[in-house]
């Protein structure tokens, strides 16, 4: 079906703006311990005895991908604005490509039968590119022609100008070419109606050039998934203010929102949700109302004041896992039931900045790819030009810088001397890619080959 379901964009933006002070205000710790005890005492008792399921990266990714399905809504988009979008319908050629027989080089349109060394051909026409003329060219005659100009119907070959001598009487043929040489025939690339790009193709500059060459000025693309983002925690403060003791600047929502936009999502709202169960649930309701996915960061570990697990388990299905990875070991997901009766997938990521960023790349980005029906970026090999230790039993994801040597070999080194320490904000900004260190590796040494994936 075409079009976008749900409320108009303006209404959705108004709803997102109406998250309210209760959901986005910057709060201090206050009496939250008492509130949590009153609302969730039974939940905390369960938490104490609960042992999280332990999963591999691939195992947890499978759970995440089971939460989402490819979007079926298709919208028409002007081709020049469709870069990065995913085709929802195939692109077919509006006409033949080339549209007419044209010259493949500068020269002279001739009859192949006239091509004899020493023959003199009288020039009767001059055809620049873009000409609509179709001059009569008889035996013993020729037409000067430029690359891309229509070949006169009466001729069948183009003789390059380098193979003739021009005289006042005409051109002298010095060398001959086969019949039909240097003529691009109508439809030899594409016939009218030919399918040129399939459903699921991600449109880049090359694809959009083909779309234009086929005569199409708009394309049917899968609508953008709506992804809303929230960070959690009373310790968070907006940038631009002086920090009180115990506070940190909130940065995860900036990364998550912009990364989601980079990867094709529409982000209507970002928020900071307080450590109050009722306010947290109200904020999540507002974020989820028109969203296809909500991404949270923070509160998925075992802190005494973390409300994410408590609230997500109250309304719908939720699961919290220990994933064999570093950083990003604690992960969670939920199917959140909104007051309107919708069920919206929620991904709960760790709160440490590098943990959140790595978790986005490994789990959120593939979910967006699934929404859009496109393949996720692959991992390629690179040679290590550094040395560090890894955690046994956990796959380590290290931000690295890529350098290509004179030998053409890609080499990587850690973007930060602390490697994948989960709180190292600067490592992410400096990195070109993530390098994956296998679970059974303890020492990474120069010359070792690792798989990497660019952070673009």
Residue 44 scores a pLDDT above 80? no
Question: Looking at the domain assignment, is residue 65 inside a domain?
Answer: yes
**Residue where a domain stops, chosen among 205, 222, 239:** 222
Is residue 244 domain-shared with residue 338, that is, in the same domain? yes
Residue 135 scores a pLDDT above 50? yes
Question: Looking at the domain assignment, is residue 300 inside a domain?
Answer: yes
Is residue 25 domain-shared with residue 130, that is, in the same domain? no
Domain count, the chain: 4
Rounded CA-CA distance 114/121 in Å is 8
Rounded CA-CA distance 236/272 in Å is 8
| pLDDT confidence band for 50 (50 / 70 / 90) | very low
Is residue 178 domain-shared with residue 200, that is, in the same domain? no
**Residue where a domain stops, chosen among 331, 348, 372:** 372
Query: Tell me: the pLDDT tens digits for 406-422?
Result: 899 999 999 987 655 54
What sign results for the dihedral spanned by CA atoms 420, 248, 432, 261?
positive
What sign results for the dihedral spanned by CA atoms 126, 129, 133, 137?
positive
Rounded CA-CA distance 274/232 in Å is 6
Rounded CA-CA distance 382/315 in Å is 45
Q: Which pLDDT score, from 0 to 100, does residue 243 have?
A: 72
Domain range enclosing 269: 9-73+224-372
| pLDDT confidence band for 427 (50 / 70 / 90) | confident
Question: Looking at the domain assignment, is residue 3 inside a domain?
Answer: no
Please state whether beta strands 293-297 and 195-197 pair in parallel, antiparallel, or not at all (unpaired). Answer: unpaired
Q: Which pLDDT score, from 0 to 100, does residue 418 have?
A: 61
String of DSSP letters for 124-183:
EEEE-TT--------TTEEEEE-TTSBPPTT--EEEEGGGEEEETTEEEE-S---TTTTE
Q: Which of 38-42, 115-119, 133-137, 376-380 has the lowest mean pLDDT?
A: 38-42
C-alpha dihedral, 49 to 55 to 59 to 62, nearest 10°? 40
Is residue 44 domain-shared with residue 175, that is, in the same domain? no
Residue 194, phi then psi, degrees to nearest 5 = -60, 135
Q: Which pLDDT score, from 0 to 100, does residue 424 have?
A: 59
Contact (CB, 8 A) for 172 and 119? yes
Half-sphere exposure of 400 (CA within 13 A, CB side): 28
Environment class of 392 (CB within 10 Å of its CB; exposed 0-12, middle 13-18, buried 19+): exposed
Q: Which two tokens stand for residue 388?
A: 């560090």
Q: Which two tokens stand for residue 306?
A: 């973390």
Is residue 218 domain-shared with residue 79, that is, in the same domain? yes
Is residue 367 domain-shared with residue 393, that is, in the same domain? no
Rounded CA-CA distance 284/105 in Å is 64
Query: Tell me: the pLDDT tens digits for 283-320?
Result: 999 999 999 999 999 988 765 557 898 899 988 899 99
Q: Which two tokens stand for residue 192?
A: 């009218």
Q: Which of 39-53, 121-135, 246-260, 289-303 has the highest mean pLDDT?
A: 121-135
**3 state SS of 388:** strand
Contact (CB, 8 A) for 357 and 351? no
String of DSSP letters for 361-383:
IIIIHHHHHHHHT-PPPP-EEEE
Rounded CA-CA distance 448/381 in Å is 10
Query: Tell me: the pLDDT tens digits for 191-208?
Result: 999 999 999 999 999 999
* pLDDT (average), residues 246-265: 89
Is residue 339 domain-shared with residue 357, that is, in the same domain? yes
- CATH for 179: 2.170.190.11
Rounded CA-CA distance 221/202 in Å is 9
Question: Looking at the domain assignment, is residue 338 inside a domain?
Answer: yes
Q: Which two tokens stand for residue 40?
A: 């969730």
| DSSP designation for 438 | P
Residue 456 scores a pLDDT above 60? yes
Question: Looking at the domain assignment, is residue 4 inside a domain?
Answer: no
Is residue 79 domain-shared with residue 195, that is, in the same domain? yes
Question: Looking at the domain assignment, is residue 1 inside a domain?
Answer: no
Question: Looking at the domain assignment, is residue 2 inside a domain?
Answer: no
Is residue 53 domain-shared with residue 124, that is, in the same domain? no
Rounded to 10 deg, the angle between the 9-17 and 277-288 helix axes is: 170
Is residue 330 domain-shared with residue 442, that is, in the same domain? no
Residue 140 scores a pLDDT above 50? yes
**Residue where a domain stops, chosen among 222, 237, 270:** 222
- What rounded mean pLDDT belongs to the chain? 87
- CATH for 334: 3.40.980.10
Rounded CA-CA distance 320/312 in Å is 10
| pLDDT confidence band for 237 (50 / 70 / 90) | low
Q: Show the DSSP H helices in 289-405 as ranges.
A: 308-314, 353-359, 365-372
Q: Show the DSSP H helices in 263-404 as ranges.
A: 277-288, 308-314, 353-359, 365-372
How far lies 236's CA from each of 262, 359, 428, in Å?
25, 20, 20
* Percent of the chain with pLDDT strictly greater than 90: 75
Q: Which of 312, 295, 397 is nearest to 355 (CA)?
A: 397
Q: Which of 309, 242, 230, 312 is nearest to 272 (CA)?
A: 230
* pLDDT (average), residues 79-83: 95
- CATH for 405: 2.40.340.10
Is residue 286 domain-shared with residue 351, that is, in the same domain? yes
Query: Tell me: the pLDDT tens digits for 94-125?
Result: 999 999 999 999 999 999 999 999 999 999 99
Is residue 345 domain-shared with residue 233, that is, in the same domain? yes
What sign results for the dihedral spanned by CA atoms 189, 190, 195, 197?
positive
Question: Looking at the domain assignment, is residue 119 inside a domain?
Answer: yes
Q: Which pLDDT score, from 0 to 100, does residue 334 have?
A: 98
């Amino acid at each position: 079906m075409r079009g976008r379901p749900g409320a108009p964009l303006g209404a959705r933006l108004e709803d997102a703006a109406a998250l309210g002070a209760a959901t986005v205000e910057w709060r201090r710790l206050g009496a939250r311990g008492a509130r949590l005890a009153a609302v969730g005492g039974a939940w905390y008792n369960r938490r104490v005895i609960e042992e999280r399921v332990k999963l591999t990266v691939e195992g947890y990714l499978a759970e995440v991908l089971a939460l989402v399905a490819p979007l079926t809504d298709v919208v028409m988009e002007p081709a020049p604005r469709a870069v990065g979008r995913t085709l929802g319908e195939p692109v077919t050629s509006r006409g033949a490509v080339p549209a007419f027989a044209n010259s493949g080089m500068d020269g002279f349109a001739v009859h192949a039968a006239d091509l004899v060394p020493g023959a003199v051909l009288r020039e009767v026409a001059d055809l620049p590119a873009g000409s609509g003329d179709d001059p009569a060219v008889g035996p013993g005659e020729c037409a000067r022609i430029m690359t891309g100009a229509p070949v006169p119907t009466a001729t069948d070959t183009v003789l390059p100008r380098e193979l003739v001598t021009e005289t006042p009487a005409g051109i002298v043929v010095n060398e001959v070419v086969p019949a039909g040489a240097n003529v691009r025939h109508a439809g030899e690339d594409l016939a009218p109606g030919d399918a040129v790009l399939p459903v699921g193709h991600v449109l880049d500059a090359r694809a959009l050039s083909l779309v234009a060459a086929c005569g199409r000025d708009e394309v049917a693309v899968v609508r953008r998934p709506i992804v809303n983002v929230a960070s959690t925690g009373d310790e968070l403060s907006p940038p631009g203010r002086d920090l009180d003791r115990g506070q940190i600047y909130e940065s995860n929502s900036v990364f998550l929102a912009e990364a989601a936009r980079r990867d094709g999502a529409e982000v209507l709202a970002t928020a900071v949700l307080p450590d109050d169960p009722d306010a947290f649930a109200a904020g999540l309701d507002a974020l989820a109302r028109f969203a296809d996915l909500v991404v949270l960061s923070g509160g998925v570990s075992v802190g005494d004041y973390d409300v994410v697990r408590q609230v997500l388990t109250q309304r719908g299905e939720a699961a919290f896992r220990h994933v064999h990875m570093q950083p990003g070991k604690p992960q969670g997901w939920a199917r959140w039931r909104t007051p309107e009766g919708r069920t919206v997938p929620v991904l709960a990521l760790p709160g440490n900045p590098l943990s959140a960023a790595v978790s986005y790349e490994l789990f959120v980005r593939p979910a967006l790819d699934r929404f859009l029906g496109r393949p996720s970026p692959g991992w390629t090999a690179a040679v290590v030009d550094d040395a560090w230790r890894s955690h046994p039993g956990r796959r380590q994801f290290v931000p690295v810088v890529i350098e290509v040597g004179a030998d053409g070999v890609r080499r990587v080194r850690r973007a930060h001397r602390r490697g994948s320490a989960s709180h190292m904000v600067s490592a992410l900004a400096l990195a070109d890619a993530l390098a994956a260190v296998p679970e059974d590796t303890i020492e990474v040494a120069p010359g070792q080959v690792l798989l990497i994936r660019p952070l673009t």
